[in-house]
Structure 1
């Protein structure tokens, strides 16, 4: 149950559009949707639901600062002008830029790549009408992290179920719940709608976090 609160800790610059609230226990929850990423230096819970999408949870273990992303495709399809490098407003919809921006924002607080702890989640086979996009996402994020010289310390990926993930950047703790068949249909419906408009939505009005 969400509780309306006016005493939330201030978010880092650029993340003001992320939905945040206090739950009944008083914890600050930051709710991530597809295309989002969020970094915090306070005691917050980063919360998301993943079907075929993937989230990377990355933290600076020396400073307890970390964040999470949520992406559905590694990069835009096709060879047109809609590439992550040329359309900044759309960038974090795709894994290529979402991963880079998450890593860079955590590193901006100080420390080195050796201080980073990485965990990955999601990539379930839930969209039966498509090639296994979930597995494609998992392969992409593993290869991306390998190329960046970052080791995955924990993961819960693949299979055929969606996941509810809660990440605690201050400590690195993660809670993962595999969702049931009724909940799966809701996740699939939302992902199909998101996917259908992913490369069609206008750039105007979007937030460029950097």
Structure 2
């Protein structure tokens, strides 16, 4: 939490959008959001980024009415259960928060948050502190103003593929998801304390990647893609269905950052370290060699992974 606050304070325009997306998904625990620039005194919204919203709801938000319109005009934050919802439109049902992005006392944009992760139990004081800082610093994500139309990404498994002009499909991988592809695909994801295991078959030139948040399920939870001890076997099974043999698979590991400030000497391993250790241990038990890692540290990462040749590129977030 402290590290995220400091990174928000230190970050400049470059990388701010990626940092905001990481904070929304990893720290605030939100699965559906939209970020808009505000123009013409709050009468027009320009989409900058979105995730998980239906196209119908997304397009309804483009017309600043209801709560979003009030926040865009007056710059007063909306928090469910803490702020009046009088005047909310039908498309705003389920809204968790609407945060004005303010510069020089003018509302330059709004960040709209909807559905939170199932284990998220309301908005706490740390969340409110993050939202206040997003309101103050998040305006940097709006510069330069966006061009074209932003279509909200949907957090589904597997994620939808989008063809680019070069013929390589691109996918944004949400936390708890996985992608396995038989044709050339570039997968992008944002990692904090989470870990991504990338597997590549050097014979068949197919591969995949997962993105898990916890080493294992908590008591009473159903194991799934959010848990490393389930997500790694799930990815392996998908590749084996494509004809891969375990002896031909190679692995790369990324993420596992310590997001709560510098580690305290003698303290128990943090979540990121536990995620990384779980991945290393399981791959060793499976007999899959690890060719490369970029783990730990105090910064989030943006990962780009090619399933056909195993190429992985990492960019540290908030690194200037």
Relative to the length of structure 1, the TM-score reads 0.70
Cα distance change on mapping 1:123 and 1:110 into 2, 3 Å: same
**Alpha-carbon deviations, 1:60-108, whole Å to 9, x = none?**
1111111000011011122x3x242xxxxxx112111110010111122
Unaligned runs of 5+ in 1: 5-14, 85-90, 183-210
Secondary structure at the counterpart of residue 92 of structure 1: coil
Cα distance change on mapping 1:181 and 1:62 into 2, 3 Å: closer
Instruction: Select the residue among 201, 208, 211 that pairs with 1:70.
Output: 211
Secondary structure at the counterpart of residue 188 of structure 2: strand
Whether the 8 Å CA contact 1:3–1:22 is kept in 2: the answer is: no
Tell me, in whole angstroms, the C-alpha distance in 2 between the residues paired with 1:65 and 1:126. 32
The CA deviation at 1:165 is 0.4
The CA deviation at 1:3 is 8.3
Q: How does 1:79-90 map to 2 (within 5 A)?
A: 80=220, 82-84=221-223
**Alpha-carbon deviations, 1:140-164, whole Å to 9, x = none?**
1001111111111111111111110
Q: Spell out structure 1 runs of 4+ moving beyond 4 A.
A: 1-4, 22-27, 128-131
Whether the 8 Å CA contact 1:75–1:83 is kept in 2: the answer is: no
Q: Which has the larger radius of gyration?
A: 2
Relative to the length of structure 2, the TM-score reads 0.47
- Counterpart check, 1:59 vs 2:192: no
**Alpha-carbon deviations, 1:22-43, whole Å to 9, x = none?**
4587642110011100101112
Tell me, in whole angstroms, the C-alpha distance in 1 between the residues paired with 2:277 and 2:260. 17
- Counterpart check, 1:38 vs 2:176: no
Larger relative contact order (CA 8 Å, sep ≥ 6)? 1
Tell me, in whole angstroms, the C-alpha distance in 2 between the residues paired with 1:107 and 1:31. 23
Cα distance change on mapping 1:147 and 1:22 into 2, 3 Å: same
Q: How does 1:1-210 map to 2 (within 5 A)?
A: 17-22=158-163, 27-78=168-219, 80=220, 82-84=221-223, 91-128=224-261, 132-180=270-318
Tell me, in whole angstroms, the C-alpha distance in 2 between the residues paired with 1:16 and 1:52. 21
**Alpha-carbon deviations, 1:102-143, whole Å to 9, x = none?**
011112222421100110100001135996100110011001
